[in-house]
Amino acid sequence: MSAFFALIRREIRLYARGKAEMATGLAFAFLFITLFPLALGPAPEILKTLAPALLSLAVLFTQFLGIERLYADDLEEGSLDLITLSGLPLAVYALCKTLLRWGAQTLPLLLVSPILAIMLGTEFEAIPSILAALTLMSLCIALAGAGGAALVLGARRGFLLPLLLVPLCAPALIFCASLAESGLSAEAGKQAALFLGALFFLYLCLFPPLIAAALRSAVEAS
C-alpha cells in the first residue's frame, strides 16, 4: 500500500512540474476549434452540426500528444524496475498512471469544453450530453492509448503507435458522436450511452492486465 501512495505522490509531483504539457494540450484544442470555422467559412448551421465531431477529434488528438512516453521514461531511468521489485501489481501501476495522466491532460480540456462548444454554436441544452460523451470517450481512449504505449515500449516501433490506436479508438469516437447528438433522438442517445459505457468497462477490464504483461516483458528485455 505504501508503494501505491508513493507512486501517486510521485506522479502528481511530475505532472505539477510539467505544466507546459497541459498547456500544450489546451492550446492545441483551442487552436483546432478556432481555426476550423475560419477554414469552413460563414456556415453557422454546418458548424453547429459538426460541433460534436470537432470536439471529439480535439479531445482525441490532445490525448495522443506524448502518449508514446507514458512508460518510456520510467523504463529508461529504472523506475519501472523498482516498481516491479516493490511488489506493486503492474496492472495497478498502469491504471494509476493512465488515470493520473487523464486527470492532468484531459480533465482540464473537458472542463473548458462547454466554452468551446458554445464557440461552435452549440445550444446550452446539448452541452450535458456532449460533456458526458466526451468524458466516457476520453477514458476509453486513455486506456487504449496506454495499451498501445506499453506494446511499443522499448521496441523502437513508436511510428506504429498511431496505426495501432486508430482501430482501438474508432468505436469510442463513433459512439461519442452518437451520444453527443442524442438531442435528435433520446432513444439513440440512450443506446449510445450504454454502448460507450460498456466499451469503457470492457477496456477497463482488458487493458490493465495486457499492459502489465507488456511492461513485464519490456523490463525483462531491458
pLDDT band, residue 42 (cuts 50/70/90): confident
156 or 56, which is more confident: 56
Note the pLDDT tens digit of each residue in 120-167: 888 887 788 888 888 989 999 999 999 988 888 866 555 677 778 888
pLDDT score recorded for residue 65: 84
Q: At what angle do helices 127-151 and 161-180 cross, to 10 degrees?
A: 160
CB 142 within 8 A of CB 63: yes
Q: What Cα–Cα distance (Å) separates residue 30 from each residue in 6, 61, 121, 126, 151?
A: 34, 12, 15, 20, 31
- Dist CA 55 CA 29 (whole Å): 8
State the average pLDDT over residues 162-176. Answer: 82
Degrees (nearest 5) of the Cα angle 29, 54, 208? 75
pLDDT score recorded for residue 190: 66
Q: Where are the domains of the chain?
A: 2-221
CA torsion through residues 197, 199, 201, 204, sign:
negative
pLDDT score recorded for residue 142: 93
pLDDT band, residue 184 (cuts 50/70/90): very low
pLDDT score recorded for residue 2: 72
The pTM is what? 0.88
pLDDT score recorded for residue 41: 76
Amino acid at site 110: L
pLDDT score recorded for residue 80: 85
